[in-house]
Chains A and B, each alone.
Chain A
Amino acid sequence: MLPHMRAGYNLARWLLRNDHDAEDVTQEAIVRAFRFFDGFSGDNPRAWLLTVVRNSAYTFLQQNRARELDTEFDEVLHSEPDTSETPEVLVLRSAQQRFLNEAVEALPVEFREAFVLREMEGLSYKEIADVARIPIGTVMSRLSRARRQLQAAVARREQAGSPS
């Protein structure tokens, strides 16, 4: 179960964008899941764990940061810099790496979720549809829009010509 719990934490961290909330939500999700389901014996424990963590993360957002759930995307509003990284970590990462991570963090949460599940967890469209409880066609369009927004962000940065 440990690798799945770590995948769950990674998803929560990407959805909530800070360590503290990600820890609270992951712990709450996993403890509740074990309390109510008495452990898990189905055929895909990783997808199950990602699903419970994902649902808790959305509940947390609804209660505490509802504006992030608006599908209408306001880039300025959402592009808050991540201040939780230590300077050592930041130095290790190249400007390009940092830029991509910030661009993904700036995506609307539904797009970010689909992109992280696909590119980091390697889930199929069907698995993403199950975790996020959306039709498979919506998975395809969210991924597609996430990528177009990331490409646009990269293009804007290249036009500005200043690697930050």
Chain B
Amino acid sequence: MNCSETKRLIDAYVDNELDLRGALEVEGHVARCPGCGAEERALRELQASARANLIRYVPSPEFEARLRDALHAEGHPVSVQSVEPSLAPPRVARHRRHAWKWAALAPFAAAAALLVVAGPRLWRPPSEASVTDAVIAAHVRSLLANHLTDVASSDQHTVKPWFQGKLDYSVSVTDWAAEGYPLVGGRLDYVEDTAAAALVYRRAQHVVNLFVWPSKRVGDEPLQRLSRRGYSAYCWAKDGMHYWAVSDLNEAELQKFVELVRRRG
């Protein structure tokens, strides 16, 4: 990594927005280069100073009371209560008449909440979480580090042969331009020490990374949806390959993309 690359990434580095590999590269350069090292210290000083010194403006009690009244006038008792429960006695009293109903439901609600919280963790194999993090980190890095593609081409017959010789498995590449997801290229990436093919698609301003690598487990795995830090991911395994589609696209559009890919196979 050189100085100009470091300068471009150093803010993301001090904000902990780079993945481990990117962070290690910046860290290595910063340790060797006095100029970039000084820049890093200056940024961290500014950050610490901002966090300690910027004024957190607090709404006045009069304003919070006005806001509460305004929400009350809009007929949002629950919201009003959550603004300042102690100052809304009439509403509390009115709700109390129905309190027994909610009390009776409470154990069910607690059980449901537990399922919602614990459910995904119970269903997922233990290593899945770190794969999710690794895949999403690879997606974020491809956007931040401006390293979206190693081979930039919308031609599947250019992208597919490019991977041959770099990977010891074959990846099928399809351009979905007609369906609204044009192929923009391919990239070699790493997920958990495994070389993975990253096929890059665009949808309007958004990027979809489709990661493909050989599965170590036997058998297909059903489609799963996961999300981290605002990114959505779908993963599945089919015919000995893992597939991960990651994007900040909205739910419906990413799902449509995933259906295209799955239908092809």
Contacts and interface: CB of A to CB of B under 8 A. Distances in A.
Contacts of A62: none
Contact of A119 (B51, B71, B143, B248): B51
Interface string B224-264: 00000111000000000000000010000000000000000
Contact of B67 (A27, A96, A127, A147): A27
A100 B11 contact: no
B11 A9 contact: no
A52 interface: no
- Size category, A interface: 35 or more
Contacts of A124: 17, 229-230
Contacts of A147: 11, 43, 46
A135 B205 CA distance: 8
Contacts of A104: 50, 54
Interface string B42-80: 110011011101111111100110110011001010110
Interface in A1-41: 1-2, 5-6, 9-10, 13-14, 19, 22-23, 26-27, 30-31, 34-35, 39
A116 B230 CA distance: 19
Interface in A112-135: 115-116, 118-120, 124-127, 129-130, 135
B84 interface: yes
A5 B60 CA distance: 12
B181 to A, nearest CB: 18
A13 B66 contact: no
A137 interface: yes
B57 A10 contact: yes
B57 A14 contact: yes
B53 A97 contact: yes
B144 A136 contact: yes
A117 B49 CA distance: 15
Contacts of B63: 9, 23, 26-27
Contacts of B83: 1-2, 5
A26 B58 CA distance: 12
A120 B54 contact: yes
> Which of A9, A14, A129 has the most B CB atoms < 10 Å from its CB?
A9
A118 B66 CA distance: 29
A151 interface: yes
B58 A5 contact: no
Contacts of B49: 96, 100
B200 to A, nearest CB: 15
Nearest to B248: A126
Contacts of B229: 124, 126-127
Contacts of B79: 1, 34, 39
Interface in B11-63: 11-12, 15, 17, 42-43, 46-47, 49-51, 53-60, 63
Interface string A55-67: 0000000000000
Interface string B80-109: 001110000000000000000000000000
B54 A127 contact: no
Question: What 8 A-B pairs are tightest by C-beta distance, nearest first?
Answer: A13-B57, A126-B230, A97-B53, A119-B50, A9-B59, A144-B11, A1-B82, A10-B57
Given A23-B66, A35-B74, A126-B231, 6 more contacts: A2-B82, A13-B57, A23-B63, A34-B71, A124-B230, A147-B11
